[in-house]
Amino acid sequence: MQRDVASFAFAPAVKVRLISAGFLTAKDIRDLRPTELSKEAGISQQEALEVLQEVRRGPAEQGAAESRLTALELLEREQALCTVITFCSALDQALGGGVPMGKTTEICGAPGVGKTQLCIQLAVDAQIPGCFGGMGGQAVYIDTEGSFLVERAVDVATAAVQHCTLITKDTEQREALQSFTVETVLSQLFLFRCHDYVELLAQTHLLPDFLSQHPKVRLVVIDSIAFPFRHSFEDLSLRTRLLNGLAQQLIQIASQHSVAVVLTNQMTTRIGQNQSMLVPALGESWGHAATQRLILHWEGKHRFASLYKSPSQREATVPYQITPLGFRDVQLPDPSVTPADPSPTPGRYSRKRPRGEEGDPSDA
C-alpha cells in the first residue's frame, strides 16, 4: 500500500516524471483515472494506463520481492542443496562433496589438462540416481569451442553405468538402474552450440525459459566461456561489461533454478618480474565473477587440481588422472612399480599407453 513509486518496474523516464510531479507512493496513484494521471505527470495516455495497471495489481501478482530470510533459514536451504560428484573422491572432498548447486564454479587450465573431461564427467554424474548418491537430474552443455565429442560422453556414461551396476545392493537401486542406462544418460544431456559471443549472450537469455520447461536440469556447463571473448574485442571495457553481465545472469540462474553452473576458462601467460606465469584468462575482474575457482595444472607428468577460491572450503591441491573411464582419483601405486612410467621399452607392444590403475570412484 505504501510502496514507493521508485520500486516499481516502470521505464526510468516515466518514473522520473511521476516523482517530480509529486507521486511518491502507490497510494497517491491508485485512485486516479488515466487521463488525470497523464495530465498531472506529463506522460502519455498509454503509459498512464500501464502505470495504473501495475499499481493496482495485488501484491501477490507483482514480481515478488524476496521475503526476508534469516541466516539460519539460508543455512538450512544450502544444506538441502546437493552437489554433483566428480568421481574423484579427493577432489570431491576438497570441494565439500562435489560441485555445489546454486553457485557458479570456474575451472581453469592449460589445453589438454582435463577441463572438458571434467565437464563431461559432471554432465554424466548429475544424472546418477538419488539412491546411488547422485541427483537424478538432467544436464545442459553449452559448447563454444566444439570440443564436445559424443563418443567420449559415451565412454564416460558407460563407465558410470557400469560402476553403479557393480555396487547395486538392494531392490530400490536395481529399479533405479532400469532407467539409468547409457541411452537415457545421453538423452538427458542437452547440447547447445554457440559460435561467437553474441550467440552465447543469446543463449544465456534463453536459458531461464529452457530451465523452466525442463525443471529436472541440475547442471549447466559452459565450455568454454573464454573462447568467444578472446578475439574480436577492440574495446576491452565492453568485454568486461559483457562478462560481468553474463556472470550476473548466470549467478541468478544458478540460484533461482537451483542448478550448478560450471564455466571453463583458458590460461594465458603473464610476464612477471623475470619469469612468465600461467594465469587464468579474461582479466583480473573476471576473477571475481565465479563463486568458486578450480585450477587444473601439470606438475611434471602428473595432473593436479587446486581449489583456488571458495567461500566455504579450504584451499587444497589434489592429484587426479584421466582414464578411458573418465575423471578419476590417482590410486597410490605399489612402491615397486613407478607410477605412470611412460618410456616405451622394446618388447612392450600391447599397451600403447600405460594404463593408470583405475581410480577408486567415490562410493557415494
Partner 1 sequence: MDWDQVELNPKVVHAVKRANVKTFREVLSLSGPDLQRLTKLSHADVHHLQKTVAAAVQTDPAVTALQLYRGECPFLEQHQKLSLGCPVMDSLLRGGIPLLGILEIAGESSAGKTQICMQLCLSVQYPRKYGGLEAGAVYICTEDTFPTKRLQQLSSLQHKLRPEVPADVVKSITFCDNIYIEHAGDVDSLNSCISKRVPILLSRGLVRLVVVDSIAALFRCEFEAKDALLRAKHLLAFGATLHSLSHRFKTPIVCVNQVADAVGDSDLAQSNFGLLDKKVLPTLGITWSNQLLIRLMVSRTRFSLQERLPGLAAQPWHLGSVLRTMEVVFAPHLPQSFCYYTVSIDGVRGVKEEPAS
Residue 342 main-chain phi, psi, to 5 deg: -90, -20
In the complex with partner 1, the residue whose CB is nearer, 131 or 246, is 246
Q: Cα(108)–Cα(297) distance, rounded to whole angstroms? A: 9
**Looking at 22, 58, 272, 300, which residue binds partner 1 (CB under 8 A)?**
300
Shortest Å distance, C-beta 191 to partner 1: 5
Looking at the Cβ atoms of 76 and 183, the one nearer to partner 1 is: 183
CA 113 to chain CA centroid, nearest Å:
19
Please give the residues from 100 up to 119 whose contact with partner 1 meets the rule CB under 8 A.
110-113, 116-117
Q: Residue 265 CB, nearest distance to partner 1 (Å)?
A: 10
Between CA 85 and CA 63 the distance in angstroms is: 35
Site for partner 1 in 256-275 (CB under 8 A): 266-269, 271, 275
Quick check: bond before 350 cis, omega within 30? no
Choice from 238, 288, 332, 338 touching partner 1 (CB under 8 A): 238
For 295-326, the DSSP string reads EEEEETTEEEEEEEE-SSS--EEEEEEEETTE
Q: Which of 324, 357, 360, 364 binds partner 1 (CB under 8 A)?
A: 324
Q: What is the β-pairing status of strands 189-193 and 302-309?
A: unpaired
Question: In the complex with partner 1, which residue's Cβ is closer, 116 or 310?
Answer: 116
Contact 133, 211 (CB under 8 A): no
Pick the piece of the chain touching partner 1 (CB under 8 A) from 72-80, 164-172, 304-312, 346-354: 346-354
Judged by beta carbon, residue 131 or residue 217, the one nearer partner 1 is 217
Distance separating alpha carbons of residues 190 and 220, to the nearest angstrom: 9
Report 27-56 residues binding partner 1 (CB under 8 A): 50
**Which of residues 4, 7, 13, 42 is near partner 1 by CB under 8 A?**
13
Place of cell 607410477: 339
Count of residues that bind partner 1 according to CB under 8 A:
81
- Phi, psi dihedrals of residue 291, rounded to the nearest 5°: -70, -45
| Binding flag, residue 12, partner 1 (CB under 8 A) | yes
Q: Is 10 among the residues that bind partner 1 (CB under 8 A)? A: yes
The minimum distance between CB 21 and partner 1, in angstroms, equals: 17
> Shortest approach of partner 1 to residue 156 CB, angstroms?
10
| 80, 145, 282 from 195: Cα distances, Å | 36, 8, 18
Site for partner 1 in 164-183 (CB under 8 A): 183
Planar angle of CA 105, 267, 284, nearest 5 degrees: 70
Residues 308 and 316 sit within 8 Å (Cβ to Cβ)? no
How far is Cα 93 from Cα 86, in angstroms, rounded to an integer? 10
Q: How far is the CB of 72 from partner 1 (least distance, A)?
A: 33
| Closer of 65 and 72 to partner 1 (Cβ) | 65
Min separation Cβ 287 and partner 1, Å: 18
Is residue 308 within the footprint of partner 1 (CB under 8 A)? no
Distance CA 282, CA 285 (A): 8
**Which residue in the set 39, 152, 163, 309 belongs to the binding site for partner 1 (CB under 8 A)?**
152
Chain residues 189-228 in contact with partner 1, contact rule CB under 8 A: 189-195, 198-199, 201-203, 205-206, 209-210, 226-227
Maximum Cα–Cα distance across the chain: 95
253 vs 101: CA distance, rounded Å? 11
